[in-house]
């Protein structure tokens, strides 16, 4: 997240309703008027209703709901609530946990619970849409016990709110026939003048999980939306069922996203709807979505690059519609879609790219391992409704359209199969798909299986040194096979916390482990804040919903170090575990201490914090990471103007795992100095979507040696080869992705962005001849079987370098805002 409101970053309201796509530069200005065509500016979908039009939906909706229904009490519902927000202005009175029933919601299927639910959300000086930009001190969990909650207008969610239902008996949010509002859950309510609150690319740290959202009471012909979800990093929707009308003329939609920089969506089931999902956002990772009986399952209204895995489309007219309605321009940048199926569906994919598309690589698509059962047309050219690829009952191994590098190029190809990666067995499930696993909720475990860190004596007040208390409770959890539960809070640690093999750890509302003090502040003697497993250790760790952070100068802090090897049948996992360096109250790294200083070349050493975001060491293996955001703050989250700050952090994610078998599902790494992702002497990695940003201060200084000199033992990339004599300072800016001496590296979607040069965005304007940096991806001669689908870069003249040779230029691959390559392959394969 970009705090600055660069127009193109939003590419916002390119909605699917015959709206002309303006020039990129004008988008923000035009945003408001575009939305006026679609959303009533008062933020309601404005339905005058006549009740009584019943709706029919696929009966397995109920089967599904029953399957999820169990009488096991959910441990989180009954555990003692002692979470706090340590840096809130009133931590003793501010409530993190709110049970909607404590605010008068009945959940009886009759009473209108709207006001009570909204009271539970808004209670106690929170960050409301329209009056607050963002906040790190007002996080909350709004919890829904089982029940049917009738709502007549939007549940208006606030910044940093987690809406969580009972996973053992999903609460139903049931819209009344005359429901008014843009979303049963409106997670970013439009403000007067038609503006989104917060700034969609700055909405972080929130989730919605375990609900049924039922629109079937709203007449089919009335527009109604399940969740309005413009959003950015460290956010997710998980385990939600959307029930919509499938009657002729239905206008229901399940999820509507029109802006932002996401994010993760997984385990969603949609029944009915006109456009069951409407998606427009820079980039996203989407996994395990099932659609029944929609007219169009997914309407992709704009993007730079989206990654779709394990999508099941059943009995729909269209699966994915990414065809532009603008005769002059593509609006969808690129899509990667794989390990998915279409059944009894007329058209699986609807596209509009041709060899003459504008921009040149716009509308790029790569599909792989797609099963068709009784499909009329696999790929249709939307504008003339002609068939590009026939349907039937069969498996499509691959089909791509866009710019290919093999490894030289570009070769613009529209509608060809390509040699697909030979998938290493260790990365796969029994059905041959890449392995996947959702965040565990431990919903079948009794309360006695959980150990609260606060009950065990940790304070989490942002002041007390909790190192010993946390270590003791982690040790006890591992010993007794109990899940360690971090109540919300900020836990200060002054030496390394060790997580041993077989640990299970879960947080409430993203509790923070924050390092402090001299132990972590020696760049010549770096120390992990959290160390997982010993080298040579073997076991499985599960860890979810937490943030690792630093306070003040911490030049030697490696926030997460992972040494543990895990068995092939039982990978370790990290879900929604993030790092956050600076930018929040209590970090000592805010606007007051670390305001940006582009006019100066001096380095403020009090703002050097973090040696590395995460280090997956040589001994580590078999680790699944999902929705993990390693962030060095670029702005002050608690400043109402979100003003920019300069924090120096050394390295992003270093993977040196010798035997590999790693899954990086929906990960991003931003604003580290020497690189974002660095894969060295490793193998067998599945990653998609990966997303990065170069620090905004670069090249003042650049990545060459200040303030983090290259460390050979850590395989830091040297920038010498990219900077022959006479090169501009931008030759040595942090690589988004660097791969050295590795094999079987498969990237399914990458958005690698460099928006700034010394805090100016001129360099990232599309078509700028002197972009912000020289190289974005670099791999070396000893790397093999390195494969990228949908590589999207911004602000780099060299999209890909092999050693010091540029092999792909931004100007050859212009897309909607990024430059895009649909298939890049390191090894020559002849077809
Ligand atoms: C919004 O509501 C106000 C007051 O009800 C009304 O005067 C105005 O016309 C509405 N605006 C739009 C765009 O519907
Ligand atoms: C996919 O989502 C469904 C619905 O939430 C869930 O039952 C299933 O377990 C999920 N599959 C995987 C592999 O997570
Ligand atoms: C298929 O979807 C249509 C609505 O689009 C619905 O009427 C029909 O019942 C569905 N068929 C099955 C087998 O569910
Ligand atoms: C960075 O930009 C500022 C203006 O914001 C300018 O004064 C300064 O000279 C620039 N520094 C470098 C190293 O380009
Ligand atoms: C790859 O790593 C080797 C050994 O560390 C190093 O000598 C070489 O310069 C690296 N290549 C690139 C292109 O970074």
Average pLDDT over residues 588-592: 98
Give the pLDDT confidence of 489-544 residue by residue, as tens digits: 999 999 999 999 999 999 999 999 999 999 999 999 999 999 999 999 999 999 99
Contact 551, 515 (CB under 8 A): yes
Q: What is the pLDDT of residues 437-484, one digit of tens each?
A: 999 999 999 999 999 999 999 999 999 999 999 999 999 999 999 999
**Nearest ligand, CA 775:** 5
Element (H, E) at 155: strand 148-156
* Whether the predicted pLDDT of 23 surpasses 90: no
Query: How far separated are the first and last CA of the chain, in Å rounded?
Result: 40
Quote the CA–CA distance of 1 and 661 in Å, as a whole number. Answer: 29
On whether the 3-68+90-124+134-318 domain is CATH 2.160.20.10, my answer is: yes
Q: What region does 538 belong to: left with phi over 0, alpha with psi -120 to 50, or beta?
A: beta
Mean pLDDT of the 712-722 span: 95
Whose alpha carbon is nearest atom 14 of ligand 3? 58
Amino acid 829: pLDDT = 77
* Confidence check: pLDDT of 697 > 70: yes
Residues in the chain: 831
Which residue has better confidence, 228 or 60?
A: 228
Token pair belonging to 275: 């456009």
Residue 469 in 3-state DSSP? helix
The pLDDT of residue 8 is 31
Pocket of ligand 4 (CB under 6 A): 598-599, 601, 700, 758
Which ligand 5 atom lies nearest to the CA of residue 721?
13
More confident residue, 158 or 2: 158
Q: What is the DSSP string of 542-598?
A: EEEEEEEEE-S-BTTEEEEEE--B--TTS-EEEEEEEEEES-STTSS-SHHHHB--T
**Burial class (CB within 10 angstroms; exposed 0-12, middle 13-18, buried 19+) of 35:** buried
Classify residue 378 as left (phi > 0), alpha (psi -120 to 50) or beta: alpha
Check residues 327 and 99 and name the one with the higher pLDDT: 99
Place 70 in a pLDDT band, splitting at 50, 70 and 90.
low
In angstroms, rounded to a whole number, what is the distance separating the alpha carbons of residues 322 and 315? Answer: 19
Nearest CA to ligand 1 atom 7: 42
Q: What is the DSSP string of 607-649?
A: GBB-SEEEEE-TT-B-EEEEEEEEEE-SB-TTSTT--BB--B-
| For range 578-588, the mean pLDDT | 98
The segment(s) of the chain belonging to CATH 2.160.20.10 are: 3-68+90-124+134-318, 449-825
Closest CA to 313 of 342, 277, 284: 342
d(CA 825, CA 427): 19
Q: Which ligand sits nearest to residue 293's alpha carbon? A: 3
pTM score over 0.85: yes
420 versus 496: which is more confidently predicted? 496
Q: Is any ligand 1 atom within 6 A of the Cβ of residue 41?
A: yes
Q: Which helix (H) or strand (E) holds 467?
A: helix 467-480
Q: Which CATH architecture has domain 449-825?
A: 3 Solenoid (2.160)
Give the chain's largest Cα–Cα span: 76
Q: Is 131 in the pocket of ligand 1 (CB under 6 A)?
A: no
Token duo for residue 729 = 């300072």
- Residue 638's nearest CA partner among 162, 202, 33, 314 is 202
pLDDT at residue 725, as a whole number: 95
Mutate to test the pocket of ligand 4, among 700, 732, 763 (most ligand atoms within 8 A of CB): 700
Q: Which residue has the higher pLDDT, 59 or 198?
A: 198
Strands (E), 724-771: 735-740, 743-753
What percent of the chain is modeled with pLDDT above 70? Answer: 91
Mean pLDDT of the chain: 91
Task: Provide φ and ψ at 308, rounded to 5°.
Answer: -120, 125
Rounded-to-integer distance, Cα 621 and Cα 60, Å: 39
Query: Is residue 441 exposed (0-12), middle (13-18) or buried (19+ Cβ within 10 Å)?
Result: buried
Q: pLDDT tens-digit profile of 356-389?
A: 999 999 999 999 999 999 999 999 999 999 999 9
Other residues' Cβ atoms within 10 Å of the Cβ of residue 174: 22
């Amino acid at each position: 997240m970009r705090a600055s409101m660069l127009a193109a970053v939003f590419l916002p309201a390119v909605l699917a309703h015959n709206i002309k796509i303006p020039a990129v530069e004008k988008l923000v200005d035009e945003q408001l008027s575009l939305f006026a065509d679609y959303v009533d500016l008062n933020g309601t979908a404005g339905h005058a209703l006549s009740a009584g039009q019943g709706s029919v939906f696929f009966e397995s909706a109920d089967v599904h709901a029953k399957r999820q229904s169990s009488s096991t009490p959910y441990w989180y519902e009954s555990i003692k609530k002692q979470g706090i927000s340590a840096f809130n202005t009133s931590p003793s009175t501010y409530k993190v946990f709110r049970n909607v029933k404590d605010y008068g919601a009945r959940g009886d299927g009759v009473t209108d619970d709207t006001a009570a639910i909204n009271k539970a959300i808004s209670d106690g000086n929170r960050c409301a849409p329209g009056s607050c930009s963002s906040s790190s001190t007002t996080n909350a969990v709004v919890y829904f016990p089982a029940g049917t909650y009738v709502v007549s207008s939007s549940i208006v969610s606030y910044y940093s709110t987690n809406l969580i239902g009972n996973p053992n008996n999903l609460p139903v949010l049931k819209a009344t026939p005359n429901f008014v509002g843009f979303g049963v859950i409106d997670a970013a309510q439009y403000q007067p003048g038609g503006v989104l609150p917060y700034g969609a690319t700055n909405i972080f740290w929130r989730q919605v999980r375990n609900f049924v959202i039922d629109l079937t009471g709203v007449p089919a012909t009335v527009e109604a939306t399940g969740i309005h979800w413009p959003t950015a990093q460290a956010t997710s929707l998980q385990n939600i069922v959307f029930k919509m009308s499938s009657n002729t003329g239905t206008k229901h939609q399940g999820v509507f996203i029109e802006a932002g920089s996401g994010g993760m969506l997984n385990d969603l089931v949609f029944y009915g709807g006109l456009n069951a999902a409407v998606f427009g956002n820079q980039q996203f990772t989407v996994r395990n979505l099932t659609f029944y009986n929609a007219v169009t399952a997914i309407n992709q209204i704009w993007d730079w690059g989206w990654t779709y895995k394990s999508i099941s489309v059943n009995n729909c007219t269209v699966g994915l519609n990414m065809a532009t309605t603008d005769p002059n321009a593509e609006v969808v940048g690129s899509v990667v879609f794989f390990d998915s199926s279409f059944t009894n569906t007329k058209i699986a994919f609807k596209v509009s790219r041709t060899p003459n598309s504008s921009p040149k690589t716009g509308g790029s698509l790569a599909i792989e391992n797609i099963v068709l059962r009784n499909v009329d047309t696999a790929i249709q050219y939307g504008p003339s409704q002609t068939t590009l690829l026939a349907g039937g009952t069969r498996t499509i191994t691959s089909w791509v359209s866009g710019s290919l590098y093999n490894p030289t190029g570009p070769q613009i190809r529209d509608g060809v199969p390509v040699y697909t990666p030979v998938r290493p067995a260790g990365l796969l499930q029994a059905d041959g798909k890449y392995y996947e696993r959702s965040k565990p909720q431990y919903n079948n475990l009794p309360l006695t299986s959980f150990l609260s860190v606060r009950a065990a004596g940790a304070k989490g007040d942002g002041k007390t040194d909790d190192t010993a208390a946390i270590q003791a409770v982690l040790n006890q959890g591992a010993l007794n096979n109990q899940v360690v539960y971090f109540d919300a809070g900020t836990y200060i640690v002054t030496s390394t916390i060790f997580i041993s093999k077989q640990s299970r750890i879960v947080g409430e509302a993203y509790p923070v482990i924050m390092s402090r003090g001299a132990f972590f502040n020696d760049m010549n003697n770096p120390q992990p804040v959290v160390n997982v497993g010993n080298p040579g250790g073997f076991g499985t760790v599960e860890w979810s919903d937490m943030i690792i952070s630093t306070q003040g100068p911490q030049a030697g802090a490696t926030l997460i170090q992972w040494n543990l090897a895990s068995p092939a049948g039982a990978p370790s996992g990290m879900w929604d575990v993030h790092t956050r360096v600076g930018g929040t109250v209590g970090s000592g790294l805010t606007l007051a201490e670390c305001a940006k200083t582009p006019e100066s070349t001096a380095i403020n050493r009090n703002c050097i914090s973090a040696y590395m975001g995460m280090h997956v060491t040589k001994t580590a293996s078999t680790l699944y990471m999902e929705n993990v955001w390693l962030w060095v703050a670029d702005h002050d989250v608690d400043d109402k103007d979100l003003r920019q700050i300069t924090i120096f952090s050394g390295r992003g994610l270093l993977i040196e795992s010798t035997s590999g078998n790693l899954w990086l599902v929906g990960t991003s790494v931003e604003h580290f100095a020497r690189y974002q992702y660095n894969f060295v002497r490793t193998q067998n990695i599945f990653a998609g979507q990966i997303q990065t940003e170069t620090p905004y201060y670069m090249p003042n200084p650049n990545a060459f040696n200040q303030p983090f000199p290259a460390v050979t033992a850590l395989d830091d990339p040297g920038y010498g080869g990219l900077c022959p004599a006479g090169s501009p300072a931008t030759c040595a800016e942090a690589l988004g992705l660097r791969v050295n001496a590795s094999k079987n590296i498969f990237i399914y979607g990458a958005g690698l962005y460099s928006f700034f040069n010394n805090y100016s965005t001129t360099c990232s304007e599309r078509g700028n001849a002197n972009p912000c940096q020289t190289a974005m991806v670099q791999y070396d001669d000893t790397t093999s079987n390195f494969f990228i689908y949908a590589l999207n870069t911004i602000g780099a003249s060299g999209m890909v370098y092999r050693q010091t040779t540029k092999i792909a230029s931004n100007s050859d691959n212009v897309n909607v805002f990024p430059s895009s390559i649909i298939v890049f392959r390191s090894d020559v394969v002849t077809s």
